[in-house]
Structure 1
């Protein structure tokens, strides 16, 4: 995993990851990673980039942005909340399966 940059906002991190080829939008769903109608096992992906943001005044602004890539070369972005704004049990279980 490389983490050479710090971006001021989640939006800026996403824009820069898109420029680096992370074009798909991934979501978490019951022990898998989802993109549109496709479902993938977390074991198929590695975390390549990671950026964490904490809201200055609102805990709901807390998020982590992941640039993830599959072993077959599929690249995309996964954004998760943390703290009060996340489903910690699901997020933690899937993130344990992703390799850093």
Structure 2
């Protein structure tokens, strides 16, 4: 697991964007897509490049995890999920099937 030392979610997103991870992915209805585009990606078309966990400053339920992703057709971007009990189990299952 990759970690950025003591950085915020926004700082880490900015660093990843500078590294070319410019797309924003969303996971809905069992499908991963780039926001605003219609092409769905299957787990075997996605590589999880990095994971970055963030604890809530004042509330543990604010914990989140940021994934940097790369697709077989060259898209590079990120998707954010809650961390812990409120995580999207379906997204986690999808990413567990993706290459790492």
Structure 1 length normalisation: TM-score? 0.83
CA RMSD in angstroms, aligned pairs only: 1.9
Q: Is the Cα contact below 8 Å between 1:45 and 1:98 reproduced in 2? A: yes
Gaps of 5+ in 1: none
Alpha-carbon separation, structure 2, partners of 1:7 and 1:65 = 14
Equivalence for 1:40: 41
Q: Deviations over 1:45-79 (max 9, x none)?
A: 10112111111321232111111001221101111
Alpha-carbon separation, structure 1, partners of 2:98 and 2:6 = 23
Gaps of 5+ in 2: none
SS in 1 for 2:27: strand
Equivalence for 2:11: 12
Structure 1 segments of 4 or more deviating over 3 A?
none
Q: Are 2:54 and 1:53 aligned?
A: yes
* Correspondence 1:12-91 to 2 at 5 A: 12-35=11-34, 36-38=36-38, 39-88=40-89, 90-91=90-91
Q: Is the Cα contact below 8 Å between 1:6 and 1:51 reproduced in 2? A: no
Question: Shift in Å at residue 23 of structure 1?
Answer: 0.6
Structure 2 length normalisation: TM-score? 0.83
Question: Shift in Å at residue 4 of structure 1?
Answer: 6.2
